[in-house]
Amino acid sequence: MSGDKSASSHWTQERLTSLANIPLMLWLVWSVVRLLPLSHADFTNWLHQPLHAGLMIAALVSVFYHTMLGAQVIAEDYIHDQAKLKATLGVLRLYFSAAGLIGIISVLKVAL
């Protein structure tokens, strides 16, 4: 996620990730609800399937990218000092990238 994106590409990417998130998040919630109570074996068997692992990774990427885009909008609204804004966006980017990465690596560890 680079820092220097034009406003229109931010707008487009926000909409694209929104659209992707709709089916992905509904899929995620319903998968979990359907599998309850989720034992560790249930979890491992479910995530081991390539389709589920793939969708899970897609969901993580789309959600955390969407979250960063949204967080950027909020930060720009409330932080006016340019230096503080840049620092905050940097920290947020790091946080969401790390969270997404941990998620993806976890999925890969189970699935592969």
Assigned token pair, 77: 């609204």
Query: Interface with other proteins includes 84 (CB under 8 A)?
Result: no
Query: Interface with other proteins includes 102 (CB under 8 A)?
Result: yes
Cα–Cα distance for residue pair 112/65, rounded to 1 Å: 24
Tell me the window of 2-10, 70-78, 83-91 that interacts with other proteins (CB under 8 A): 70-78
98 contacts: CB under 8 Å, gap ≥ 6: none
Q: Residue 54 CB, nearest distance to other proteins (Å)?
A: 14
Q: One symbol per residue from 7 to 46: x for binding other proteins (CB under 8 A), - otherwise; what is it?
A: --------x--xx-xx--xx-xx---xx-x-x-x--xx--
Q: Is 98 left (phi over 0), alpha (psi -120 to 50) or beta?
A: alpha
Q: Residue 67 CB, nearest distance to other proteins (Å)?
A: 5
Q: Residue 2 CB, nearest distance to other proteins (Å)?
A: 20
Cα–Cα distance for residue pair 24/57, rounded to 1 Å: 10
The amino acid present at 108, given as its one-letter code, is: L
Q: Which residue has the tokens 């359907």?
A: 34
**Distances in Å between the alpha carbon of 69 and those of 8, 41, 52, 76, 96?**
12, 35, 25, 11, 11
Q: Residue 1 CB, nearest distance to other proteins (Å)?
A: 14
Residues that bind other proteins (CB under 8 A): 15, 18-19, 21-22, 25-26, 28-29, 33-34, 36, 38, 40, 43-44, 47, 56, 60, 63-64, 67, 70-71, 74, 80-81, 96, 99-100, 102-103, 105-107, 109-110
